[in-house]
Amino acid sequence: MISALTSINALYAQWVLQNSGTNTILTDVVMLDTATAIAVGQDRSILRTSDAGTTWINVAETLSFAEPWNGVSFFDTSNGIVVGDHGGVVTTTNGGKNWMWHTIPTSQNCLSALHAGPGNIYVGADSGWIYNSLDSGTTWSSEKIGTEPIRSLFAWRGEYTLGLPIYALTPHTLYSKIDFPPTPWEETDLFFHGLGSAAFSGEYCNGGGAGFIVGVQGDLRSAPTILRKSMSDTAWSAVSIDIPFDCTLLGVSAPSADVIYVCGTDGVILKSTNGEDTWSTASVPTARNLYAIYLFDEQRGFAVGEYGVILHTSNGGVTGIRDQESHLPGGFVLEQNYPNPFNPTTVINYQLPANVFVSLKVYDVLGRDIKTLASERQNAGTHSVTFNASNLPSGVYFYRLQAGTYSETKKLVVLK
């Protein structure tokens, strides 16, 4: 029998929802080759796949001590770093199969990482500190370059002869320097001004090309914002994004000079195939916030986000807005959970014909509120929620969907 989740993945063949094994926030992801990827999360997990995401293994389970992880970076297919809260740093030399524990001399939360070369790693902390090691984390130097959190560390990814340009991004400022030979950090004010405005992530195109920074302008609305700068430009400039909705852009990946992907809140994924002149909107089987995206090449990549969401694409991941709208449901639908009866997890699917506020809750036979599965505004389309009843006794329960003026209730059975 084909499950409802399989049917959803067939409908949204561009980005396929995978089973991460966790239901907390996944903060970052990187690909080492076409089949191997590392995703890190707030539940202290370091997830690794070697089969393009079909299965994920938590390789952090063997660590004697772990923190909520915030960032991951690899220099090549073998050498990488993961950073987290309370100065937590782990490195690998075998593609993420095993990890070695390090601690930078601080209790600060480490938010971002850059593995810039053999033994050369940078770590960005939540109070403007940058930590650098030239011996794979054995010893560290430190420098406070500002007061705001270092949300993203990235480097020029084209050919260079006079030293590698390194960039450190805060919510409102970009710092840059040259590595080998080293130069002082220089500060550049960015386009993000006004209440709620902030930058979140940056990256230069693989092989050379422009750099891109993503975020939100929030004075009167949550306006998705992309900044662009080539090496010949004197300043970062805003890119025109013709999309009919508000969101915050949180991640960016540029696998080539022509192809750029960005992701953000409410399951948003955008793609440009002409160096940012025009953007297309992806058909995505989730409305969860997506915090990071990584494309190994122009076709294959992952996006990760809240509630353990992992999305994978092997064919470029995007249809145009018109194609997306052609897949929208004609009305509200609440499907029967599958499997049913179940132990301990089941999947609830529903369809929305419009962008509405959604409440999805589970009740016991006495009408008591047991679990809230969704309470947010969601985009039109088909949505999937996993319900874990491991802490509930066997019995009959009910789940109710309220979306706008629509309301429907169905029965589910926990059988242990």
Question: Using CA atoms, how far apart are residues 145 and 126, in angstroms rounded to an integer?
Answer: 12
Question: Using CA atoms, how far apart are residues 165 and 160, in angstroms rounded to an integer?
Answer: 9
DSSP string computed for 116-165:
EETTEEEEEETTSEEEEESSTTSS-EEEE--SS---EEEE--S--SS-EE
User: Is there a single domain that holds both residue 73 and residue 145?
Assistant: yes
CA end-to-end span of the chain: 22
- Among the candidates 271, 303, 326, a domain finishes at 326
- Among the candidates 285, 309, 326, a domain finishes at 326
Residue whose C-alpha is closest to residue 40's, from 64, 74, 69: 69
Q: Structural domain of residue 157, as residue ranges?
A: 12-326
- The 10 Å Cβ neighbour count of residue 143 is 12
User: Is there a single domain that holds both residue 365 and residue 228?
Assistant: no
User: Is there a single domain that holds both residue 211 and residue 343?
Assistant: no
pLDDT tens, 287-301? 889 999 999 999 999
Q: How many helices (H) and strands (E) would you count in the chain?
A: 2, 35
pLDDT tens, 268-325? 999 999 877 788 888 888 888 999 999 999 999 999 999 999 999 998 875 544 344 4
User: Is there a single domain that holds both residue 321 and residue 342?
Assistant: no
* Tokens (6 digits) for 335: 């499907």
User: Is there a single domain that holds both residue 246 and residue 347?
Assistant: no
Residue 312's contacts (CB-CB under 8 Å, 6 or more residues apart) are 15, 16, 18, 52, 53, 301, 302
State residue 280's pLDDT score: 87
The owner of tokens 């909107």 is 281
pLDDT tens, 159-180? 876 789 999 999 999 999 999 8
User: Is there a single domain that holds both residue 381 and residue 303?
Assistant: no
State residue 6's pLDDT score: 36
Residue 73 included in any domain? yes
* CATH code of the domain covering residue 167: 2.130.10.10
Q: Do 90 and 81 touch, CB atoms closer than 8 A?
A: yes
Determine the residue type at 110.
Answer: C
Q: Show contacts of 323-327: CB within 8 Å, 24+ apart.
A: 323/283, 324/281, 324/282, 324/283, 324/381, 327/11, 327/12, 327/283, 327/381
**pTM (whole model) above 0.85:** no
Question: Using CA atoms, how far apart are residues 151 and 44, in angstroms rounded to an integer?
Answer: 19
